[in-house]
């Protein structure tokens, strides 16, 4: 593989000639089921062929040397296994440190350090989970270099702990799960209440999933994400205080929610909780429609999901709304919605393959006219989850 040869050469230039191992972890799109994971609902993501590559070799001392070709100006970042605390100066390398630290806390032992070179082709900050991709890349690398036996769910949960405990972002399990369990041409229906999942073939005939990047970085998203999560928790508390015996919003049907929503007694909280409950149902329906080959009905659910994220959950904004409404108006489009946390990042559209060029040109023009800068487009291919690459 050409890319791996180039990465090996780059590794040797930085760290000298060594016997190396190679790894890959994908990014993800979420077909539907947004902001449902931390509400005990269903999500329906898939890992994509864009991702993060890593080349690594063990060292004979306790040092860890880290180099990212995406942040080349930062040079080689040096850390030590004895001090893995979060350090803002270390930027992207904190994800690597966080994974080692969280695995150490679970009793895994690292006798020596390592050299790691990474390169990613997921657009950074685009909401396609470049950070979870790096976490899982480091996870599979550590498993291999140190002969650890970590079951996949534990590795996935370790990635989530890095977000939650190391970075203080109260994200759900979806991204790490999609990247840890992804399979070529399959999406994952995960019920976060039971943690049971089902692999679902994604058969789109002459349609494709086009990723549309707003090119808007998600500066605000971190605090807003935690705010949405707290709003849902408060809505749940009020429903419970009103007598509902539930542990999560994901346990409610739409009808049960409608009957009981007045218990929440706050218009904003009602909207947030309604999104969580209805989106969960849409996700179950979407899996059914996709499996039955009803792409039209599947696409309609994508449209409804976006409307709910815009109106009830309020996590879209001008950029995502412009992309999605322009996409929905194009010929050969069955549905479109934002994907990921929102507030910028990416949207996806289900587009007839023969219309993709025209689609991209038209959406590009609309976006430039309304937003003032340009979006980017990529056709999504669903690929395998995090893995060691063969030599
Ligand atoms: C981010 C989070 F990391 C996920 O856990 C999920 O909540 C998503 O936003 C919204 O659906 O990607």
Q: Using CA atoms, how far apart are residues 14 and 35, in angstroms rounded to an integer?
A: 41
Cβ–Cβ under 8 Å, residues 250 and 281: no
Residue 34 in contact with ligand 1 by CB distance below 6 A:
yes
Q: Beta-carbon neighbour count of residue 270 at 10 Å?
A: 18
Q: Beta-carbon neighbour count of residue 353 at 10 Å?
A: 15
Best substitution site from 37, 43, 126 to test ligand 1's pocket, by max atoms within 8 Å of Cβ? 37
Q: What are phi and psi of 384, to 5 degrees?
A: -80, 160
Calculate how far, in angstroms, residue 147's C-alpha sits from the geometric centre of ligand 1: 31
The verdict on whether residue 126 carries a ligand-binding annotation is yes
User: Could you report the per-residue pLDDT of 10-48, keeping only the tens digit for each?
Assistant: 999 999 999 999 999 999 999 999 999 999 999 999 999
The residue contributing the CA closest to ligand 1 atom 5 is: 172
Q: What is the pLDDT of residue 218?
A: 61
Q: What is the pLDDT of residue 390?
A: 84
Token pair for 272: 């947030």
Domains, the chain, ranges and CATH? 1-203+383-388 (3.30.230.10), 207-379 (3.30.70.890)
Calculate how far, in angstroms, residue 237's C-alpha sits from the geometric centre of ligand 1: 21
Residue 35 in contact with ligand 1 by CB distance below 6 A:
yes
Residue 315 in contact with ligand 1 by CB distance below 6 A:
no
State ipTM: 0.99
Q: Using CA atoms, how far apart are residues 313 and 269, in angstroms rounded to an integer?
A: 9
Chain Cα centroid distance, residue 284: 19
The verdict on whether residue 37 carries a ligand-binding annotation is yes
Q: What is the pLDDT tens value at each position of the chain, 391 positions in all?
A: 788 999 999 999 999 999 999 999 999 999 999 999 999 999 999 999 999 999 999 999 999 999 999 999 999 999 999 999 999 999 999 999 999 999 999 999 999 999 999 999 998 778 999 999 999 999 999 999 999 999 999 999 999 999 999 999 999 999 999 999 999 999 999 999 999 999 999 999 999 999 999 999 665 456 799 999 999 999 999 999 999 999 999 999 999 999 999 999 999 999 999 999 999 999 999 999 999 999 999 999 999 999 999 999 999 999 999 999 999 999 999 999 999 999 999 999 999 999 999 999 999 999 999 999 999 999 999 999 999 998 6
Calculate how far, in angstroms, residue 64's C-alpha sits from the geometric centre of ligand 1: 30
| Burial label, 294 (beta-carbon count in 10 A; 0-12, 13-18, 19+) | middle
Q: Using CA atoms, how far apart are residues 146 and 115, in angstroms rounded to an integer?
A: 13
Q: What is the pLDDT of residue 219?
A: 56
- Size of the chain in residues: 391
Cβ–Cβ under 8 Å, residues 347 and 216: no
Hey, what's the torsion of the CAs at 324, 328, 334, 338, to 10 degrees? 10
Cβ–Cβ under 8 Å, residues 193 and 41: yes
Q: What is the pLDDT of residue 95?
A: 98
Q: What is the pLDDT of residue 217?
A: 67
Q: Which of 52, 284, 292, 77 is nearest to 179 (CA)?
A: 52
Q: Using CA atoms, how far apart are residues 336 and 300, in angstroms rounded to an integer?
A: 8
Beta bridge partners of 103: none
Cβ–Cβ under 8 Å, residues 280 and 256: no
Q: Using CA atoms, how far apart are residues 172 and 177, in angstroms rounded to an integer?
A: 10
Residue 171 in contact with ligand 1 by CB distance below 6 A:
yes
The verdict on whether residue 128 carries a ligand-binding annotation is yes
Q: Beta-carbon neighbour count of residue 379 at 10 Å?
A: 14
User: Could you report the per-residue pLDDT of 213-250, keeping only the tens digit for each?
Assistant: 999 966 545 679 999 999 999 999 999 999 999 999 99
Continuous H helices in 115-265: 130-145, 152-161, 174-181, 221-241, 254-260
Which is the closest atom of ligand 1 to the Cα of 172? 5
Q: Beta-carbon neighbour count of residue 258 at 10 Å?
A: 13
Q: What are phi and psi of 282, to 5 degrees?
A: -60, -35
Q: What is the pLDDT of residue 1?
A: 78
- Which H or E run includes 274? helix 267-291
The residue contributing the CA closest to ligand 1 atom 1 is: 341
Active site residues: 175
Q: What is the pLDDT of residue 391?
A: 64
The verdict on whether residue 163 carries a ligand-binding annotation is yes
Q: Beta-carbon neighbour count of residue 288 at 10 Å?
A: 15
The residue contributing the CA closest to ligand 1 atom 2 is: 171
């Amino acid at each position: 593989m050409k890319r791996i040869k180039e990465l090996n050469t780059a590794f040797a230039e930085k760290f000298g000639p060594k016997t190396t191992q190679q790894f890959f972890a994908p990014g993800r799109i979420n077909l539907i089921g947004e902001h449902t994971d931390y509400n005990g609902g269903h999500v329906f993501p898939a890992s994509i062929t864009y991702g993060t590559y890593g080349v690594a070799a063990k060292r004979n001392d306790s040092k860890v040397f880290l180099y990212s070709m995406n942040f080349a100006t930062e040079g080689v970042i040096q850390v030590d296994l004895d001090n893995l605390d979060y350090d803002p100066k270390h930027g992207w390398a904190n994800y690597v440190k966080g994974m080692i630290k969280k695995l150490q806390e679970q009793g895994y032992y690292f006798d020596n350090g390592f050299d790691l070179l990474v390169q990613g082709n997921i657009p950074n900050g685009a909401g396609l989970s470049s950070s979870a991709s790096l976490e899982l890349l480091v996870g599979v690398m550590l498993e291999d270099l140190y002969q650890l036996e970590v079951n996949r769910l534990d590795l996935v949960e370790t990635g989530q702990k890095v977000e939650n405990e190391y970075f203080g972002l109260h994200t759900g399990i979806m991204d790490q799960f999609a990247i840890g369990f992804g399979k070529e041409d399959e999406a994952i229906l995960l019920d976060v209440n039971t943690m049971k999942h089902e692999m679902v073939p994604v058969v789109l005939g002459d349609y494709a999933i086009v990723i549309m990047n707003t090119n808007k970085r998600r500066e605000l998203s971190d605090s807003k994400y935690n705010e949405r999560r707290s709003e849902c928790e408060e809505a749940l508390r009020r429903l419970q205080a009103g007598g509902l015996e539930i542990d999560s919003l994901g346990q409610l049907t739409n009808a049960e929610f409608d009957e009981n929503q007045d218990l929440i007694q706050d218009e904003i909280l009602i909207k947030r909780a309604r999104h969580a409950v209805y989106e969960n149902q849409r996700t179950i329906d979407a899996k059914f429609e996709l499996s039955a080959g009803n792409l039209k009905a599947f696409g309609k659910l994508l449209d409804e999901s976006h409307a709910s994220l815009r109106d009830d959950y309020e996590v879209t904004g001008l950029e995502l709304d412009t992309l999605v409404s322009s996409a929905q108006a194009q010929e050969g489009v069955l549905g479109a919605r934002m994907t990921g946390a929102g507030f910028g990042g990416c949207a996806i559209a289900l587009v007839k393959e023969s219309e993709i060029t025209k689609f991209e040109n038209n959406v590009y023009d609309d976006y430039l006219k309304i937003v003032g800068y340009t979006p980017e487009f990529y056709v999504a291919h669903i690929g395998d989850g995090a893995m060691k690459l063969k030599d």
